Amino acid sequence: MNRTPLFEAHRSLGAKLVDFGGWEMPLHYGSQLEEHHQVRRDAGMFDVSHMLVLDVAGDQAKSFLLAVLANNVGRLTRPGKALYSCILNEDGGVIDDLIVYFVGEGRYRIVVNAGTAEKDLTWLESQRTRLAQGVHIRPRRDLAMIAIQGPNARNRTWEANPDLKPCSEQLGVFFAAACEEWFVARTGYTGEDGFEVMLPTLQAERFWGSLRAAGVTPAGLGARDTLRLEAGMNLYGQDMDESVTPLESGLAWTLDLVSARDFIGKQALLARAPRGQMLGLVLLDRGVLRAHQKVITAAGEGMITSGSFSPTLGCSIALARVPVEVAENETVSVEVRERLLKARTVKYPFVRRGRSLVALGIDSNPSQHPQGTS
């Protein structure tokens, strides 16, 4: 089992540790629900050092990434600008989703998921050998990564390390800056403002402690999952994988299908109509929506890919892959423990910057609904 540089810090805080993609990670530190609310209302921090940072460099780095990423890195013209993208197989299936940062001419930084890291690296190296042998891909396991998220996240980060303020205060959303050995990105996976900080592993525990002293609450995988679901953000392995395309996963906005640029998987996407679409669900009856539950619509059956109780909304929500004919604001049925429960289709995200973006039309008193793990 792999462990991050913050493993001992998690254990000292009494974290419930679980296996996540081969890494021993904190699920929560006592109350998943409270950790979720702290991120929405103040600031929380997550150890995301299990994710893999890859530095891509060389004269052909841009042309290489133009070929292997579905989104267009040609749009990255200002140093520090970030882009969300997928890497696809020849059939248009999603190998992984990632964030790529433009560091400078011929230099990019990519962050890939933990569970797919070795697969991604092997695939990228095989494409590099085929397309751009002058490009170098450097895995950065010498770096830790801490995400600080919430309405007060940036101010608390600067309180914990004042040296970061001059280089990060002017960052726009989805921009990053190098602060000597540290790399500070105004990105995240919660629907809140904040930073994702990449720093040398030997400095991670001290920074974590400084954040705690500044009032930032440690949060685990459980809160991270409910936060990202409320924000309508996909989870690889649940909401998409190599068996589905971005068009079937709510990620059409990440595709460049109009320009002359070709990329791996593009021709398959152009040749095949989507077999489904992603919509949000809000449960109208009592219960909790979970992954793999069957969704029954007038146009045919679908499947929930991610579902949970939403602490912010006080009801159960889900992402579901349903027939393309299904529209927003339709009533559908979900098979939950051999019962058919009513749900309404909605456009997601459900929550952004702590504010509900959907009209619930139900009793959303949290005390009236199951609250999942806490």
State which of 273, 302, 319 marks the end of a domain: 273
Please state the domain count of the chain: 2
Confirm whether 357 is domain-assigned.
Answer: yes
Lowest mean pLDDT among 31-45, 109-123, 359-373: 359-373
In the Cβ-directed half-sphere of 124, how many Cα atoms lie within 13 Å? 27
Q: What is the mean pLDDT of the chain?
A: 95
How does residue 81 score in pLDDT terms, banded at 50, 70 and 90? very high
In a domain, 363, yes or no: yes
Nearest to 269 by CA among 257, 251, 278, 277: 257
User: Each residue of 184-221: pLDDT tens digit?
Assistant: 999 999 999 999 999 999 999 999 999 999 999 999 99
Statement to judge: residues 160 and 101 lie in one domain: yes
With a cut of 60, say whether residue 357 has pLDDT above it.
Answer: yes
- The neighbour count for residue 178, using CB atoms within 10 Å, is 16
Asked if the bond preceding 349 is cis, omega within 30° of 0, the reply is yes
pLDDT at 366 over 80: no
Look up the pTM and report it: 0.94
The predicted pLDDT at position 361 comes to 56
Q: Which has more confidence, 366 or 330?
A: 330
Q: Maximum CA pair distance of the chain?
A: 60
Q: Is the pLDDT of residue 13 over 90?
A: yes
CATH code of residue 91:
3.30.1360.120
For residue 294, the enclosing domain spans 276-368
Give me 284's structure tokens. 């109208």
pLDDT value at position 359?
76
Is the per-residue pLDDT at 362 higher than 80? no
Q: Are residues 71 and 104 in the same domain?
A: yes
The pLDDT of residue 131: 95
pLDDT band at 360 (very low <50, low <70, confident <90, very high): confident
Cβ(95)–Cβ(89) below 8 Å: yes
* 106 plus 220 within the same structural domain: yes
Q: Where a domain ends, among 231, 251, 273?
A: 273
Please check whether residue 134 lies inside any domain of the structure: yes
Same domain, 151 and 228: yes
217 and 351 both lie in a single domain? no
Q: Which residue bears the tokens 């002058």? A: 134
The answer to whether residues 117 and 175 belong to one domain is yes
Q: Is residue 374 part of a domain?
A: no
45: nearest Cα among 141, 143, 153, 142:
153
> 349: which DSSP letter?
P
Whether residue 265 has pLDDT greater than 70: yes
Query: Mean pLDDT, to the nearest integer, of 99-120?
Result: 97
What stretches of the chain show up as alpha helix (H) in DSSP? 7-12, 32-41, 61-68, 117-131, 153-160, 165-168, 204-213, 221-230, 266-271
Asked if residue 373 belongs to a domain, the reply is: no
What is the residue type of 104? G
Q: Are both 166 and 266 inside the same structural domain?
A: yes
Report yes or no on 349 lying in a domain: yes
- Same domain, yes or no, for 190 and 335? no
Report yes or no on 105 lying in a domain. yes
**Span 151-164, average pLDDT:** 98
> Is the same domain home to 334 and 254?
no
Q: What crossing angle do the helices spanning 204-213 and 153-160 adopt, rounded to 10°?
A: 120
Could you tell me if 322 and 225 lie in one domain?
Answer: no
Q: Please indicate, yes or no, if residue 331 is contained in any of the structural domains.
A: yes
Hey, how many other C-beta atoms are within 10 angstroms of the C-beta on 284?
19
- Under a CB-based contact definition with an 8 Å cutoff, are residues 110 and 127 in contact? no
The amino acid present at 361, given as its one-letter code, is G
Picking from 209, 243, 273, the residue at the C-terminal end of a domain is 273
CATH of the domain at 353: 2.40.30.110
Same domain, 266 and 282: no
291 shares a domain with 234: no
